[in-house]
Amino acid sequence: MARIMSGVQPTGNLHIGNYLGALVNWVRLQEQYEAYFSIVDLHALTQRPEPEALRRAVREVAIGVLASGVDPERATVFVQSSVPQHTELAWVLTCLTPLGDLNRMTQFKDQSQQQPENVNTGLFTYPVLQTADIILYRADRVPVGEDQEQHLELARETVRRFNHIYGDTFPEPQVVKSAAPRVMGLDGESKMSKSRNNEIGLFETEAETMQKLRGAKTDPARLRRTDKGTPEVCNIFSYHGFFSTESQRAEVAAGCRSAQLGCVDCKKMLCQNLEQVKGPIRERASELRSRPGDLDSILERGAQKARIEAEKTMELVRERVGIWSGS
Contact range with ligand AQP by CB under 6 A, out of 11-19, 121-129, 238-246, 306-314: 11-19
The reply on whether position 194 binds ligand AQP by CB under 6 A is yes
How far apart (Å, rounded) are the C-alpha atoms in residues 182 and 20?
Answer: 9
Whole-number minimum distance, CB 52 to ligand AQP, in Å?
18
The reply on whether position 192 binds ligand AQP by CB under 6 A is yes
φ and ψ of 12, to 5 deg: 160, -160
The reply on whether position 193 binds ligand AQP by CB under 6 A is yes
Contact range with ligand AQP by CB under 6 A, out of 163-171, 176-184, 226-234, 277-285: 176-184
Whole-number minimum distance, CB 196 to ligand AQP, in Å?
6
The reply on whether position 302 binds ligand AQP by CB under 6 A is no
Site string for ligand AQP, 139-168 (x = CB under 6 A): -----xx-xx--------------------
φ and ψ of 322, to 5 deg: 95, 25
Answer for which of 154, 159, 183, 288 binds ligand AQP (CB under 6 A) is: 183
Whole-number minimum distance, CB 94 to ligand AQP, in Å?
20
Distance between the two ends of the chain, CA-based, in angstroms?
Answer: 35
CB neighbour list of residue 188: distance below 8 Å, 6 or more residues apart: 216, 217, 235
Answer for which of 3, 4, 5, 18 binds ligand AQP (CB under 6 A) is: 18
How far apart (Å, rounded) are the C-alpha atoms in residues 186 and 217?
Answer: 6
Q: Applying CB under 6 A, what is the total number of residues that bind ligand AQP? A: 21
Element (H or E) spanning 4, and its range? strand 3-8
CB nearer to ligand AQP: pick between 166 and 203 = 203
Residue type, 299: L
The reply on whether position 304 binds ligand AQP by CB under 6 A is no
The reply on whether position 38 binds ligand AQP by CB under 6 A is no
The reply on whether position 191 binds ligand AQP by CB under 6 A is yes
Evaluate whether 159 touches 170 at the Cβ level (below 8 Å). yes
CB neighbour list of residue 174: distance below 8 Å, 6 or more residues apart: 140, 141, 142
The reply on whether position 310 binds ligand AQP by CB under 6 A is no
φ and ψ of 201, to 5 deg: -70, 145
Whole-number minimum distance, CB 199 to ligand AQP, in Å?
7
How far apart (Å, rounded) are the C-alpha atoms in residues 307 and 157?
Answer: 25
Bridge partners for 36 per DSSP: 5, 76
Evaluate whether 122 touches 45 at the Cβ level (below 8 Å). yes
Whole-number minimum distance, CB 257 to ligand AQP, in Å?
27
Q: How many CA atoms lie within 13 A of 153 on its CB side?
A: 10
CB nearer to ligand AQP: pick between 109 and 225 = 109
Whole-number minimum distance, CB 182 to ligand AQP, in Å?
5
Kindly list the residues in this chain that would bind ligand AQP in the complex (CB under 6 A).
7-9, 11, 17-18, 21-22, 144-145, 147-148, 180-183, 191-195
